[in-house]
Amino acid sequence: MGKIVVGMTVSLDGFVNDRHGSVDRLYPDFAEIAQSDIMREAIETTGAVVMGRRAYEMGGGDFTGYEFQVPIFVLTHHVPERVAAGENDRLRFTFVTDGVERAVAAAKTAAGEKDVTVVGGASTVRQCIAAGLADELHLDIMPVLLGGGLRLFEHLGGAPVELERIGVMEVASGRTALRFRVVR
């Protein structure tokens, strides 16, 4: 059975975007990341994706060529009137309005033996961690201090989450990938 893998790129000071909501400083190497071994492995092992509505909207209405060609479950309060372009035999959008647990359960069913990758946003990742759904935490750290914006781990609440480091590697342009298993 696959794992539930949550994570995203953060600045060294823990922000997932800057004070203006921009992620540009976190992804100057996007083309390089897309060609990396770590991304190829994620694509091979992912059977379904969970993302929040903001992450979905960052696609700009077009997921044609999106790296994960798998079912995508979008956690949202309101289903959009129009679905983004790019759906095909493998990539299909399902909008889930009744909570992260339901989105993850549906994604697990769709993923079969493969992993469910939770790509964001910050709120969706926090909800998965707080609900005890995450098996692994994958953080890519960019060597930049944003000094403000949206923090990934703010307001987690609940008991501390124990992690076991399972990997550290340099990916691209000084980006460092940290991989942790959630200790239960």
Spell out the domains of the chain, with CATH numbers in brackets. Answer: 4-78+91-182 (3.40.430.10)
3-state secondary structure of 95: strand
3-state secondary structure of 17: strand
Report whether 104 contacts 128 (CB < 8 A): yes
pLDDT at residue 74, as a whole number: 97
Beta-sheet strand order (sheet of 93-96): 93-96, 72-75, 46-52, 115-120, 4-11, 136-142, 176-182, 163-170
- In angstroms, the CA 25 to CA 17 distance is 8
pLDDT at residue 44, as a whole number: 96
pLDDT at residue 159, as a whole number: 82
pLDDT at residue 29, as a whole number: 76
Sign of the alpha-carbon dihedral angle for 173, 181, 44, 116: negative
Q: Which residues of the chain have pLDDT under 70?
A: none
Structure tokens at 62: 């077009």
Q: What is the DSSP string of 154-176?
A: TT--SS---EEEEEEEE-STT-E
pLDDT at residue 34, as a whole number: 80
Under 8 Å CB-to-CB from 106, ≥6 apart: which residues? 73, 94, 96
pLDDT at residue 163, as a whole number: 97
The model's pLDDT over 1-54, given as tens digits with 9 standing for 90+, comes to 799 999 999 999 999 999 999 999 998 877 788 888 888 999 999 999 999 998
Report whether 2 contacts 133 (CB < 8 A): no
Report yes or no on whether pTM surpasses 0.85.
yes
Q: Calculate Rg over the CA atoms of the chain.
A: 16
- In angstroms, the CA 129 to CA 125 distance is 6
